[in-house]
């Protein structure tokens, strides 16, 4: 296999299926805009993001050449699709289906990883013990239901994201270009889902000037999310990983930077999409508390995730973005007291001003043609 392969169309197909889970998480928040609903979304995203990352590491190590490997990967993709279908009722009637599908995702992953070269297969068998334990916790939780399920899912998150950080990862030769490109595609598709949320909501209402203004504000917010990551951080991340000669340290950069740090980033996209669904159609009226909080905390979490990402990979200063995250929270009052459009405009102004300020200092992101 090439040291640093390009992302294949099969992997892109896999990502399109995976990002369906983002849409499903947004649906969960729409149906349960409560603190418990948010908790369940966080647990679900953490669980599925761990194994999505596992498949990125897999295709980074093993070329999906030949019918057998491709069919196996498609089976893993199908199991991911079932988990996505089960998400709206994962803490209810579909909990067992989610658990069974997730277990299949884990098993297919370790079987395919045995096709890797060098010490990677043996190292993955060590990680498989944790993955299997997490999958069984999820499955048992689906059987038990209720609060027990939430506790067991939290245990699964701890077993994977918590304990696996202490394993030696030098057996995995992470290819930076492929790794960065794959995660960038997921972010791009997920941001696209927020655009779809804006368009779908707008499409359900009579088109007039007010609706167009609100939709364009939603689109502008999505464009700023794109700018935040694709304005240069993706390229700098690839350069930082390539320059790291120690394989364990490079793998930890991948695990922490593209794994842990992406959870708040993706959660931010989910929250924004949920908030936009409730705000675009009636944008010149005050918002209910939940969508106002979703918009503000979604934007803030995205910026915090990006800040943590920059810190882990040591690629750029982030103080301005943390200030912008605080500014995003301040827009809640606009949504609750003025109008949804005012809050959207406030978010666009706060984040846009932060990027403009970065542009006046060294190390600012610059938009590049993609």
Residues 187-203 have a mean pLDDT of: 82
Q: Which tens digits make up the pLDDT trace of 47-88?
A: 999 999 999 999 998 888 889 999 999 999 999 999 999 999
What pTM was computed for the model? Answer: 0.91
Residue 134 clears pLDDT 60, i.e. is over it:
yes
Segment 265-276 shows an average pLDDT of 93
pLDDT band at 5 (very low <50, low <70, confident <90, very high): low
Span 284-304, average pLDDT: 95
Long-range Cβ contacts of 130-134 (<8 Å, 24+ apart): 130/159, 130/160, 130/163, 130/164, 131/50, 131/51, 131/54, 131/106, 131/160, 132/106, 133/159, 134/47, 134/50, 134/106, 134/159, 134/160
Question: What is the model's pLDDT at position 358?
Answer: 86
SS (H, E, C) the chain: CCCCCCCCHHHHHHHHHHHHHHHHHHHHHHHCCCHHHHHHHHHHHHHHHHHHHHHHHHHHHCCCCCHHHHHHHHHHHHHHHHHHHHHHHCCCCCHHHHHHHHHHHHHHHHHHHCCCCCCHHHHHHHHHHHHHHHHHHHHHHHHHCHHHHHHHHHHHHHHHHHHHHHCCCCCCCCCHHHHHHHHHHHHHHHHHHHHHHHHHHHHCCCCCHHHHHHHHHHHHHHHHHHHHHHCCHHHHHHHHHHHCCCHHHHHHHHHHHHHHCHHHHHHHHHHHHHHHHHHHHHCCCCCCHHHHHHHHHHHHHHHHHHHHHHHHHCCCCCHHHHHHHHHHHHCHHHHHHCCHHHHHHHHHHHHHHHHHHHHCCCCCCCCCCC
Query: Can you give the residue ranges of every domain in the chain?
Result: 9-166, 191-359
- Averaged over 93-120, what is the pLDDT? 94
**Out of 100-109, 305-314, 342-351, 359-368, which region has the weakest mean confidence (pLDDT)?**
359-368
Question: pLDDT digits over 143-191, tens only?
Answer: 998 899 999 999 999 999 988 878 888 888 888 998 999 999 999 988 9
């Amino acid at each position: 296999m090439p040291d640093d392969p390009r992302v294949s169309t099969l992997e892109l197909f896999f990502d399109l299926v995976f990002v369906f889970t983002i849409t499903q998480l947004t649906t969960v928040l729409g149906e349960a805009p409560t603190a418990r609903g948010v908790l369940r979304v966080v647990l679900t995203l953490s669980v599925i993001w761990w194994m999505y990352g596992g498949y990125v590491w897999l295709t980074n190590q093993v070329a999906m050449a030949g019918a057998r490997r491709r069919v196996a990967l498609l089976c893993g993709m199908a199991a991911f699709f079932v988990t996505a279908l089960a998400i709206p009722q994962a803490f209810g009637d579909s909990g067992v289906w989610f658990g069974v599908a997730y277990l299949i995702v884990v098993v297919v992953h370790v079987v395919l990883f045995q096709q890797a070269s060098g010490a990677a297969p043996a190292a993955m068998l060590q990680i498989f013990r944790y993955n299997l334990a997490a999958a069984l916790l999820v499955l048992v939780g689906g059987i038990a239901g209720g609060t027990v399920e939430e506790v067991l899912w939290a245990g699964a998150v701890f077993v994977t994201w918590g304990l696996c950080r202490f394993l030696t990862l030098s057996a995995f030769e992470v290819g930076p270009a492929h790794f960065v490109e794959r995660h960038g595609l997921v972010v791009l598709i997920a941001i696209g889902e927020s655009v779809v949320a804006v368009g779908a909501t707008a499409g359900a209402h009579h088109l007039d000037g007010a609706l167009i203004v609100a939709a364009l504000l939603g689109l502008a917010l999505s464009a700023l999310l794109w700018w935040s990551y694709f304005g240069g951080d993706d390229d700098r991340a690839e350069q930082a990983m390539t320059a790291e000669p120690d394989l364990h340290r490079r793998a930890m950069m991948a695990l922490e930077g593209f794994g842990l740090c992406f959870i708040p980033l993706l959660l931010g996209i989910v929250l924004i999409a949920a908030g936009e669904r409730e705000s675009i159609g009636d944008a010149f009226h005050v918002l209910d508390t939940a969508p106002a909080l979703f918009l503000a905390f979604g934007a803030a979490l995205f910026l915090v995730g990006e800040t943590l990402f920059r810190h882990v990979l040591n690629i750029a200063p982030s103080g301005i973005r943390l200030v912008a995250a605080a500014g995003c929270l301040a827009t809640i009052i606009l949504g609750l007291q003025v109008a949804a459009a005012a809050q959207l405009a406030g978010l666009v102004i706060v984040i846009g001003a932060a990027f403009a300020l970065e542009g006046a200092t060294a190390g600012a992101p610059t938009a590049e043609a993609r």
